[in-house]
Amino acid sequence: MKTLPAQDVIYAFSNKHEPILRAAAGDTVKIDTFDCFKNQIQSSDQEVATIDWDQVNPATGPIFIEGAEIGDVLKVVIKDLEIGDQGVMVTGPKLGVMGHRMTAMESKIIPIQNGKAVFSERLQLPLNPMIGVIGVAPEGEPVSCGTPGSHGGNMDTKLITKGATLYFPVAVDGALFALGDFHAAMGDGEISVSGIEVPGSATVQFDVIKGGRLKHPLLENEEGLAFLVSAMTLDEAVSTAVEEMIDLLLTQSDLSVSEMTMLMSAAGEAQISQVVDPLVTARFFVPRHVLDGLNFHLFS
């Protein structure tokens, strides 16, 4: 198994980056990461304003995937996800949903102990280790690691965890994959602008699906399938995710557009991922039993 230390990071997904590692289809790589503040906040007494904000949201990479060409799909299986023993949260003026009521930047150190996030003496939260930033290089201009898009990026989706498989549209040869911004736990929306930010490591396995031709990232797990779409508004993100899913399912179904729409309205789920980044992210999820009932097989 190949390894990639956290010292090699990017702050934007770009087709101009030189890869720091090459991997082939079938390879497994263990990737170490900083937290989203590059481990700069180690104490609640530390002034948040003193950190270097140019070093926020580092992603480890990029990795050149041999055989991945424009128009293909990069398959990424998250085999394992490990997190550090201390997390941090931040909020403040003009940040997140409640920033208009904040008067100063504030941070909170959250120990990770006995499988729980210790928010306070009375509140110990269950862990949901997940990856906030994950994706490939876009075709055009660089995209900050703090911004999500059709390339992936800062989608902050709590389904991106151990056992999930992600599929990314390849826009440049080699894909140039990177990831970072782990959370020990995060609720849908990430309303304060941060989850419980932690360093960690992810073990991922790559594959290349020739000619898959996705427009947006797709996530598969034991429970079902979801399109992840980022846009200026939730309305736009949800509408696009719904339509992409219906179009995908119709490729293997004799249902009409009307019937598939009714099925998705009865059994599909429009879900919010995050509402605090430069673009918001929503997902449309279809349960496994519906996929089985449709006899749908992804990329068959």
φ, ψ for residue 218, nearest 5 deg: -125, 140
Average pLDDT of the residues in 243-269:
98
Output the pTM of the full model: 0.97
Q: 165: which 2 tokens?
A: 């498989």
Quote the pLDDT of residue 213.
Answer: 83
What superfamily in CATH does domain 2-68+82-139+174-203 come from? Acetamidase/Formamidase-like domains (2.60.120.580)
**3-state SS record for 134-191:** EECCCCCCCEECCCEECCEEECCCCCCCCCCEEEEECCCCCCCEEEEEEECCCCCECC
Which candidate, 192, 147, 160, 182, places its Cα nearest to that of 39? 182
- 157, 282 in Cβ contact below 8 A? no
Q: 85: which 2 tokens?
A: 């023993």
pLDDT-based confidence at residue 46 (cuts at 50, 70, 90):
confident
- The percent of residues in the chain predicted with pLDDT above 70, rounded, is 100
Dmax of the chain from CA atoms?
61
Cβ count within 10 A of residue 294 = 17
Q: What residues does each domain of the chain span?
A: 2-68+82-139+174-203
Per-residue pLDDT reduced to its tens digit, 176-228: 999 999 999 999 999 999 999 999 999 999 999 998 889 999 999 999 999 99
CA atoms within 13 A on the CB side of 79: 12
Quote the pLDDT of residue 53.
Answer: 83
- 182, 268 in Cβ contact below 8 A? no
